[in-house]
Structure 1
């Protein structure tokens, strides 16, 4: 059976400059549609007593602060070059990229505050006594996710479980055990096994990407177990495999591939080369992706009332405002590293979806001009190469991040939702877990090749750990995964563009100095 979800938006559009006649291409009534066989995509977030806690996910989720910055900028895929006086910010971005940060780095402090802000909201909800069994299970699982972020970033934190309460600093093993136990409790099981029975779980199987169902809780457990050897020294790969397999075999989700389409809201009416629709991988991250059949659990963003996603501002050069008719000039910060960009082969659909490169045009398709260009070529041209990290990076250097597609006439806050868990990631987690458990990377090939087939590239006949990490990077770019993946694969101390520091203690961030000053019983992580 084919089910179709439709939402009608009534809007009046304005543009701050008169470079084109929009004619009939941008209509007052827009129909958003995802159509996939066998999937009911009508789930939504809604309000109620869970709203405040889940809304806290937006802090640092998909902006130039907190969790996204900490997971991306220290990796081998992105950087924030200093362009004269722009984006220096006291050196915090340079330090994150070069692995020379200290405990006073603002982004590191934000990552801590964002997670504990979410934990505080969860504790308020749990202490209020108004939640039913399902609501209680969801909030406990959500709190576990916030603690998972602290476990991953800082290791040794306080396990505070009451509103306004305090606790001693726990070691990393204890934080791992707490996250695991809370997720298992929400699922109504004592352990993840090869035969999972969720009949006692208070969580439902309803498709609701802004809330936690059984599959989302299992996905968080799969992520926890996949990294267990890093966190505790004890591998838990079989359990990661079992949790991921249950989702794949029993969940209602599908890889968004051929036939999974949504309108391209970045299409300029007068530019014939702009596609009318986004399909497959590109559709997962579109501006109206809230009902995409691949997404299991996501952060709800909206240009009005749900701000925080501002990738267009973070990555585009100022003149690109005239490409999309944005309501504000972008900030020209985040770029992709050339070597990472070149790791995609030509014809990989993810390469086209993830990056904006080459000569740029305006809203009407004419050359986009930068009268303050760094060279004699006034047309904006995003080059994969970046000349230097600091102090005078060229303003047009670096492929720009466009995985989360832009929108004509867009505001500074974007409408795209940000996946925390999606089926493509679950496949890669299962493939990796099976390979590590058996010591044979070729066991990951069925899952890897499912992802590569969707990307339009040839399947592999064999694979090793390095190629798996590269494939995971190509698939998961811009999804707050790279730092954790590099650590798990033992690559975080490697050298790459403008980064040579190999301090092993930097697998954990320092406890922020502001937090130690506020709570002197906190002790610093080794090395800082």
Structure 2
């Protein structure tokens, strides 16, 4: 059934979004209509029935201090987990991720591997159940291909398991790539991506449901695959990545969440006038009520009750910050932003305000937030961009904190925000980069880059190069578990950054977990260098 949401002044106190397209002027508006046909409002993690378990498995390690998220983000130049005396040492695992000194027994790297294969097993079970219609079958194949894309990206050489209880030999990275591509193309009902895509034969639908895969979600994953094809198989597929992304932008119902695109600010403290009532534009994409955001194409559903697994508030905030947001438990004071990454944003960039928490902190009623175990004589909690050291005694308040996913007053350990897998802002950057690489001219990225900069209230760029584009992509995609993949694609993964100098080239791939090798009875071999 087709539904329409009419946005008025009265609706701003509720879950409210209005929107803008890339070709439209970015201007304020209080009343818009957008089609939200098929939007899920339940707690299914992708719908009920035979695909429930397969979709729900995405929550494992995708938005917490584990698995895919830790392996993709702490290893990059955007964040770290400094050791504060005995806190966050954990046998050195976080230092190893940051300094690129991990081995094949690293728990986060092993968890990312296991999480993907459990999800693949759920997809295989659903496909073999005989309970799927054509659309559900296509969804299951795309979802399985996405799990394999994670394995392809992290480990390269893995087993392609397509039947429950049936083992397979280890495949090389090119074979895994070819499998992911073929599954995505089959679900889209095409044999190749061209400039004039005809998806009329695809069993996938086009209805908007952020928790289900439609044609646009499948194309988004395919565009990511093609953008990284030169890394994966040594063959550039930039034109195909451009075509896939362009189809989404030109044909999809999605729009950039910009001026007038509003969501409630769950961090609003009732007695603090300086806390805004609402989030607008970029910040609204990551609100606690972002399940109906018009920019999100496919996301992982999280809730504070029942569908847990997103723990950003507790991962990053200092313990006394429990009193700022009246949280049900004290945060863990772990994840912090690297100073150089924080400083890469221009002052006035709306993404800087949305992404980071810095400066002196106050409690729920606006009084100074105190830390009686502070490292100096100033007891007020003050998040400083500078971090004195990675280990062994990082200062307790050092480092800007991760704020992109809106915290909730009275929040629990688990958050209600959804984690985007494919969103339109990212798709614009996929197209921009692919088009630039295909033509050898980075200035071709400027229309898409400047659309996102306009959304962030910063001036357009007149020219751009590869380093500039990587910086722009970092500003937009911070905390969305893409930075490792981006640094490798841009040849920056082996560079030195704060407290990291190791440049072993073999670390472009993670090791196959040693426990899996030991259990494989000789059917798994280790990646070179480990």
Indicate the TM-score class for this superposition, using the shorter chain for normalisation: over 0.9
Does the CA-based 8 Å contact 1:39-1:253 persist in structure 2? no
1:303 aligned counterpart, secondary structure: coil
Correspondent of 2:15 among 32, 41, 44 = 32
Deviations 1:100-125 (A, max 9, x none): 01001000100100100100100010
1:312 aligned counterpart, secondary structure: helix
In the alignment, which residue of structure 2 is the partner of 1:295? 296
1:48 shift after superposition: 1.7
1:3 shift after superposition: 3.6
Are 1:175 and 2:176 matched, yes or no? yes
**Matches of 1:41 and 1:97, distance apart in 2:** 41
In the alignment, which residue of structure 1 is the partner of 2:22? none
1:2 shift after superposition: 11
1:318 shift after superposition: 0.2
2:436 aligned counterpart, secondary structure: helix
1:162 aligned counterpart, secondary structure: coil
In the alignment, which residue of structure 1 is the partner of 2:528? 526
Does the CA-based 8 Å contact 1:41-1:292 persist in structure 2? no
Distance 1:206 1:482, change over 3 A: same
Does the CA-based 8 Å contact 2:328-2:412 persist in structure 1? yes
Are 1:481 and 2:482 matched, yes or no? yes
**Structural mapping, 1:301-316, within 5 Å:** 301-316=302-317
**Matches of 2:472 and 2:425, distance apart in 1:** 12
Does the CA-based 8 Å contact 1:2-1:35 persist in structure 2? no
1:292 shift after superposition: 0.2
**Structural mapping, 1:125-274, within 5 Å:** 125-274=126-275
Does the CA-based 8 Å contact 1:66-1:107 persist in structure 2? yes
1:38 shift after superposition: 4.2
1:518 shift after superposition: 1.0
Residues matched between the structures, number: 505
1:200 aligned counterpart, secondary structure: coil
In the alignment, which residue of structure 2 is the partner of 1:41? 36
**Matches of 1:123 and 1:413, distance apart in 2:** 29
In the alignment, which residue of structure 2 is the partner of 1:89? 90
1:35 aligned counterpart, secondary structure: coil
TM-score normalised to structure 2 length: 0.94
**Structural mapping, 1:5-20, within 5 Å:** none
Deviations 1:5-41 (A, max 9, x none): 79xxxxxxxxxxxxxxxxxxxxxxx732223434223
**Structural mapping, 1:364-383, within 5 Å:** 364-383=365-384
The gaps in structure 1 that reach 5 residues or longer are 7-29
Does the CA-based 8 Å contact 1:5-1:41 persist in structure 2? no
1:50 shift after superposition: 1.3
Does the CA-based 8 Å contact 1:2-1:38 persist in structure 2? no
2:408 aligned counterpart, secondary structure: coil
1:183 aligned counterpart, secondary structure: helix
In the alignment, which residue of structure 2 is the partner of 1:11? none
**Matches of 1:499 and 1:129, distance apart in 2:** 50
1:330 aligned counterpart, secondary structure: coil
In the alignment, which residue of structure 2 is the partner of 1:415? 416
**Structural mapping, 1:88-107, within 5 Å:** 88-107=89-108
2:139 aligned counterpart, secondary structure: helix
Does the CA-based 8 Å contact 2:5-2:33 persist in structure 1? no
The gaps in structure 2 that reach 5 residues or longer are 8-12, 20-31, 41-45
Deviations 1:257-300 (A, max 9, x none): 00000111110000000000000000000000000000000000
In the alignment, which residue of structure 2 is the partner of 1:405? 406
